[in-house]
Amino acid sequence: TVDEVIRVAEAEGFDAGIHKGGVLEVARTPAQLARLKEFHAQELAFGEKDRELYDARRTAERIRVADAVGSTWTPHGARVHPVKLVKGLAAAVEALGVTIHELTPVTEIRPKHAVTPYGTVRAPYVLRCTEGFTANLKGQHRTWLPMNSSMIATEPLTDEQWESVGWDGRETLGDMAHAYMYAQRTADGRIALGGRGVPYRFGSRTDNDGRTQPETIEALREILVGFFPSLAGVRVEHAWSGVLGVPRDWCATVTLDRTSGLGWAGGYVGSGVATANLAARTLRDLVQIDSGQGVRTELTELPWVGHKVRKWEPEPLRWLGVHGLYAAYRAADRREFSTPSAESSRAARVADRISGRH
């Protein structure tokens, strides 16, 4: 799927800042290293042939993350500028004659009907691909939880600052903390870094302007400086927030109900830039089969097709649960940094079981 996104961008002739440097996951404590090795073994067991496991020295040769004790790298990942990607795709489909109706919110979905404030759209198939905003639709309030995610971007770094950091391969970067971070070296020479911030708002509320709270910006800056102490004086020039779609079992789903013509895809839990592409191609194949214009493909046989997930708990249990879980994860991370043990914190193990992530 990563290669398919790259192929389409090249074929349509738009620049989305793509660089295929792979994905590097780092560990900074003994407990994180134990989880990293387990994760690495699981990926190999699933059949990945190209993944590599690095010790502290090999990790430092790729990127100089403070206190890194190991990492795992896969070539199957790429940096991308998501807004440039979606604008390029929008221009491509409009050139094919498709009309994109912006500022037209769908408030309710029914079989063969999508209801908007300006009228009702009728179609043989109605596909819900609204991810973190699904809770705003009538009857979908507890389907997927809108998890907040926030990002910062630094000012462009100097050559000397990049020399202190390394990162010549421009891999996307993640870690093995429970309240994990993710980052990339951008095409214009910045570091863009994200994390959870305030994870969830009561009643599945979402905002529209992407404003980021000052304490969240400061928390992300602390992560940046913790990873790269030499960048302590670097300015944060941009900050923004958005929501992820989180199913109760943290597993994405692609489904087409042949009786009603309603389909949906989502629940990507933060991995949607690539996964949405795979889900869309899968929905396409399912619609073509149902309409008699296609046959079953390797995509329609994937295990997420038709996967059923129970709904989230009602409020206030939902709010208490999510905030309790992330408080436990952050406490576990603090304990793992202060207590050098290879065993994950008990609080995190309990939180994993409650959240469904185990």
Domains of the chain, with CATH numbers?
23-76+146-246+316-355 (3.30.9.10)
The answer to whether residue 4 scores a pLDDT higher than 80 is yes
Q: Quote the pLDDT of residue 231.
A: 98
Quote the pTM value.
0.90
Which of 167-171, 229-233, 340-344 shows the lowest mean pLDDT across its residues?
A: 340-344
Region 322-332: mean pLDDT is 80
Q: Quote the pLDDT of residue 226.
A: 96
The answer to whether residue 337 scores a pLDDT higher than 90 is no
238-262 tens-digit pLDDT: 999 989 999 999 899 999 999 999 9
Give the position of tokens 């191609």. Answer: 281
The answer to whether residue 349 scores a pLDDT higher than 70 is no
Q: Quote the pLDDT of residue 89.
A: 97
For the packed helices 82-95 and 2-12, what is the interaxial angle rounded to 10 degrees?
Answer: 60
Region 79-104: mean pLDDT is 96
* Backbone phi, psi, residue 54, to 5°: -120, 145
User: Burial level of 197, CB count in 10 A (0-12/13-18/19+)?
Assistant: buried
Region 148-155: mean pLDDT is 94
Q: Quote the pLDDT of residue 346.
A: 67
Separation CA 312–CA 325 (nearest Å): 14
From the CB of residue 233, how many other CB atoms can be counted at a distance below 10 Å? 7
- pLDDT category at 171 given cuts 50, 70, 90 is very high
- pLDDT category at 326 given cuts 50, 70, 90 is confident
β partners of residue 169: none
15-35 tens-digit pLDDT: 999 999 999 999 999 999 999
Q: Quote the pLDDT of residue 354.
A: 64
260-313 tens-digit pLDDT: 999 999 999 988 999 999 999 999 999 999 999 988 999 999 999 999 999 989
Q: Which residues of 290-318 are buried (b: 16+ CB within 10 A; e: fewer)?
A: beeeeeeeebbeeebbeeebeebeeeeeb
The mean pLDDT value of the chain amounts to 92
Closest CA to 36 of 342, 353, 338: 342
Region 149-157: mean pLDDT is 96
- Distance between alpha carbon 347 and the CA centroid of its chain, in Å? 24
- pLDDT category at 347 given cuts 50, 70, 90 is low
201-252 tens-digit pLDDT: 877 777 767 788 899 999 999 999 999 999 999 999 999 998 999 999 989 9
Q: Quote the pLDDT of residue 358.
A: 53
As a whole-number percent, the residues of the chain with pLDDT over 70 amount to 94
- pLDDT category at 351 given cuts 50, 70, 90 is low
45-76 tens-digit pLDDT: 999 999 999 999 999 999 999 999 999 999 99
